[in-house]
Structure 1
Amino acid sequence: MAAKAASNLGYIPPDGGWGWAVVLASFISIGFAYAFPKSLTIYYKEIQEYFSVSYSQIAWVSSVMLASMYAAGPVSSILVNRYGSRPVVMVGGLMVCSAMVLASFGTSIVHLYLCVGVIGGFGLAFNLQPALTIIGTYFHAKRPLANGLAMTGSPVVLFTLAPLNQFLFDSFGWRGSFLILGALVLNCCVAGSLMRPQVPEDNLQGVEIQNERREKGCIDVSLFKHRGFLIYLTGNVLMFFGFFAPVVFLAPYAKHLGVDEYSAAFLLSIFALVDMFVRPATGLLGNTKWIRPRIQYLFSFAVSYNGACHLLCPLASGYVGLVVYAVFFGMAFGMVCSLLFEVLMDLVGAHRFSSAVGLVTIIECGPVLLGPPLSGALVDILGDYKYMYYACGVFMLVPGIFFFIMHYYNYKRLDEEQRQQQSAQMRTCGEAVQLKMDQEGTQE
């Protein structure tokens, strides 16, 4: 599958050179896309008091932003297919900047929904998909490593924005902070400028693939007939119901067990720090000759590992037990995030990845939004966080087992199809040789 994906690009990816600058650009772009909605929560209390709204109303700002980012996936994919990654990322950076500047003059909570939520969310979508897509055009042999490094942008940017936002909040309030954040996110435009299109000048075939793609400028819906894509999509929809809730409720769960606020918050720092180092390490592991040919199994293990962590979490006793859980959960979460888009590219190929990620994100929008609220409702009904962790564990473990079984079946079918293709080619070659010999015999 990997060799076929590379050949379908019409050229051989350089696996280095300017590609490392592209990885840096993707690191920045992906980092802002995932970390920005989470980092804004530091301003919620002041905004809530300023507009005299409930906590649930102010919480919808990040929810709308995240929903818009996922829902805009197909739009972003269409634009990438038609114009390439560079202009889309630069427009995305300008959109998020404009959203934050307009929000700083907000007069109502609805104003923030529209500016930060809708406009900002669309801008983040224009940062995410192009950054993921362009890596596949520069890397093939080293692609898992490149994807792992790029996905590390999320915890690194979040780790940086968290204290920065606190400083900005203390110094300038939420309005001034939004203006400064608007200027800061313009770094995505700089990142976009580094995303030079990978089209070798001496390769006319590569130019004709890209021209055909841009003329169509649409999403490849035939992916819904692709066996590997359907396996990925089915498992991910179930997985995302339990993917984010354990992170959201980690600190509240610790407080529920009697841990002080500072120590509870420190659990998230431990989690983020472990996540930060595990993502590139997973990319390096996925790039080895033993793992790369069957990288879907590593992803299956990572998803199952997440589920096992959540199922064992309620057994953790005291603060030390929660620290151990945070470490193992950070490892599991980082492994999944590092491989999440690499395995999709491995299944559908780099040439169809833009369409695939657009379709996946809009379908995953539902479980991403509903997962944490449903988990919170479970806590409200049963009055204990452990049942929420049990539920999330099941929602992760079941798709992990599903991935193991279905990828075993998929790899087996792929091997059979490859053998049949080779047999057909050998028969064709044999027939051609026989025909040539018959022609030569007739001439004699």
Structure 2
Amino acid sequence: MMIKAPIHFLNNRVFLSATVTVWYNRDADSIMPPPAATNLGHTPPDGGWGWAVVLGSFISIGFSYAFPKSLTIYFKEIQAYFSVSYSEIAWVSSVMLASMYAGGPVSSVLVNRFGSRPVVMVGGVMVCAGMVLASFGTTIIHLYLCVGVIGGLGLAFNLQPALAIIGTYFQVKRPLANGLAMTGSPVVLFTLAPLNQFLFDSFGWRGSFLILGAIVLNCCVAGALMRPVNKAIQPKPKLEAPPCDQEDPSANANAQSANLLTEESQSEGKKERCLDKFIDVSLFKHRGFLIYLIGNVVMFFGLFAPVVFLAPYARHQGVDEYSAAFLLSIFALVDMFVRPLTGFIGNTKWVRPRIQYFFSFAVVYNGVCHLLCPLAEGYSGLVVYTVFFGVAFGMLCALLFEVLMDLVGPKRFSTAVGLVTIIECGPVLLGPPMSGALVDKFGDYKYMYYACGVIMLVPGIFFFIMNYYNYKKLDEERRQSAGAEMRNSDEAVELKMNQIEKIAYETDG
């Protein structure tokens, strides 16, 4: 808020013309707290080179999520080669995903220190090195370390920066940009699945790992596209300093206030800023962040298992192996088109102000699909379920990180997503094995789908209730803030009038 109080002299009388100008945030109706939209230090260009950055994020995010899933094609031959059980070989993908999520905080620190571009390029080199080293593996432990740990950390260095940099380039069109970038996951999976089958038939798993190591170097190309945003473009409006020959009482007051800061308080502020570069512990006091974190931890226990067990469930129903595998292709194809469409819908003026409700609906929609899955009869019923599940999964994934950025703001997003991913590491690692244990115990997949449906439905309802509470509190805080600003403006105007009356009285005297 800015107070303008020009003085006008007319017929030896003093008149005060007070104009109160309120700076209103265009995103004030969104769930994002006001500081979250204004702490970037620049106005995002919402286009231009930002679309090249979206392309780089598309590639980087695509490899991060699709690469661990695509490696399952080689598991059967690797299992026979090392004479291990299926559960032992399945840990390769689980360790890779867990490492990708656990490496989130490390990636956050590196992004805050060096920016997105070098971190993504280093991540691409790490995944390449892990795949090349794994091709010379002699034990399954070797694959755990090379593919799982080294490759997983490399994917963490690809995922985190790609998500963070979009917030520096986009604000108005950010949901659309995030939706387009998240589409990389189904597109890359849809491409890698047949490619891996061709490589496997032609070169075996060792030769395929060497070639995949070269292919994943495209993440370095994606990183090269992620140049830092030019903060000189469309700078935020700043109040111009008054000329030196004019006296500015507010400037004098500000100078006097600044002189009151002691060296001790300044040093404490520096220490806090240094700590925030590594981990922003104040996020655990952020109401919206805590709501997102609690709901997501529960949700991730049931998020990936229905995808992992889709083809086995179809084969359990008597569907041939080729048709069962084709369900995954249908799922990826639907997911591919739903994600950008979700981003477009989320960017509309009707959805953007309350985008958290849209995300809550996507979570509930997933849960309902899983609860109804056992009712699907025959292959045609499974196809219908796959289509609806693809829509639900695509909606959720397109909004997953956008709603977090909307809550905490782009400036704090890098640290927030790092904290979220390391906490979600446990559910990601344990969710599919726990679901598989239900199948082993009951000998039927329907109980697993019932459990996943309930696990998704509970956080969906939680999100609806708590987001309503969060919106209500934010509205109250905005009204209180506006009222306090108006009271301060009234006091400032009254003080200015008293000063002018005093000057007028002395002049008349």
TM-score range, shorter chain: over 0.9
Distance 2:234 2:449 in 1: 53
Aligned to 1:20: 51
How do residues 92-111 of structure 1 correspond to structure 2 at under 5 angstroms?
92-111=123-142
Distance 2:197 2:323 in 1: 18
Match of 2:355 among 283, 289, 295: 295
Provide closer, same or farther for how the CA distance between residues 163 and 406 of structure 1 changes in structure 2, counting only shifts above 3 A.
Answer: same
Alpha-carbon distance, 1:14 to partner: 0.5
Q: Does 1:275 align with 2:306?
A: no
Provide closer, same or farther for how the CA distance between residues 29 and 202 of structure 1 changes in structure 2, counting only shifts above 3 A.
Answer: closer
Question: RMSD across aligned C-alpha pairs, in angstroms?
Answer: 1.6
Amino acid of the structure 1 residue aligned with 2:441: I
Match of 1:254 among 314, 334, 338: 314
TM-score between the two structures when normalised by the length of structure 1: 0.96
Alpha-carbon distance, 1:106 to partner: 1.1
Show structure 1 runs of 4+ deviating over 2 A.
Answer: 1-6, 201-206, 212-217
Match of 2:447 among 376, 387, 398: 387
Distance 1:18 1:127 in 2: 19
Provide closer, same or farther for how the CA distance between residues 215 and 85 of structure 1 changes in structure 2, counting only shifts above 3 A.
Answer: farther
Alignment gaps of 5+ in structure 1: 207-211
How do residues 350-369 of structure 1 correspond to structure 2 at under 5 angstroms?
350-369=410-429
Aligned to 2:226: 195
CA deviation string 1:26-47 (max 9, x = no partner): 0000000000011111111111
Amino acid of the structure 2 residue aligned with 1:440: I
Distance 2:106 2:232 in 1: 29
Distance 2:124 2:107 in 1: 13
Please state which structure has a larger fraction of its residues in helix: 1
CA deviation string 1:355-406 (max 9, x = no partner): 1000000100111111111111111111211111111000011111110000
Match of 2:143 among 106, 112, 121: 112
Aligned to 2:179: 148
Alpha-carbon distance, 1:216 to partner: 5.4
**Identity of matched residues, %:** 81
Q: Does 1:404 align with 2:464?
A: yes
SS at match of 1:340: helix
Q: Is the 8 A contact 2:43 2:233 kept in 1?
A: no
SS at match of 2:278: coil
Match of 2:301 among 241, 251, 258: 241
Q: Is the 8 A contact 1:83 1:214 kept in 2?
A: no
Aligned to 1:66: 97
Alignment gaps of 5+ in structure 2: 1-30, 238-271, 505-509
How do residues 177-188 of structure 1 correspond to structure 2 at under 5 angstroms?
177-188=208-219
Alpha-carbon distance, 1:68 to partner: 0.6
Aligned to 2:277: 217
Provide closer, same or farther for how the CA distance between residues 101 and 22 of structure 1 changes in structure 2, counting only shifts above 3 A.
Answer: same
Distance 2:361 2:96 in 1: 31
Distance 2:277 2:497 in 1: 48
Distance 1:71 1:258 in 2: 38
CA deviation string 1:255-284 (max 9, x = no partner): 111111111111111111101100000000
Amino acid of the structure 1 residue aligned with 2:494: Q
CA deviation string 1:208-245 (max 9, x = no partner): xxxx9789531212101000000000000111111111
TM-score between the two structures when normalised by the length of structure 2: 0.84
Distance 1:214 1:91 in 2: 24
Compare CA radii of gyration and give the structure with the larger one.
2
Distance 2:187 2:235 in 1: 40
How do residues 72-91 of structure 1 correspond to structure 2 at under 5 angstroms?
72-91=103-122
Q: Mean alpha-carbon deviation: is it higher for 134-143 or for 311-320?
A: 311-320
Aligned to 2:19: none
Q: Is the 8 A contact 1:82 1:213 kept in 2?
A: no
Alpha-carbon distance, 1:203 to partner: 8.3
Aligned to 1:136: 167
Aligned to 1:209: none
Q: Is the 8 A contact 2:283 2:289 kept in 1?
A: yes
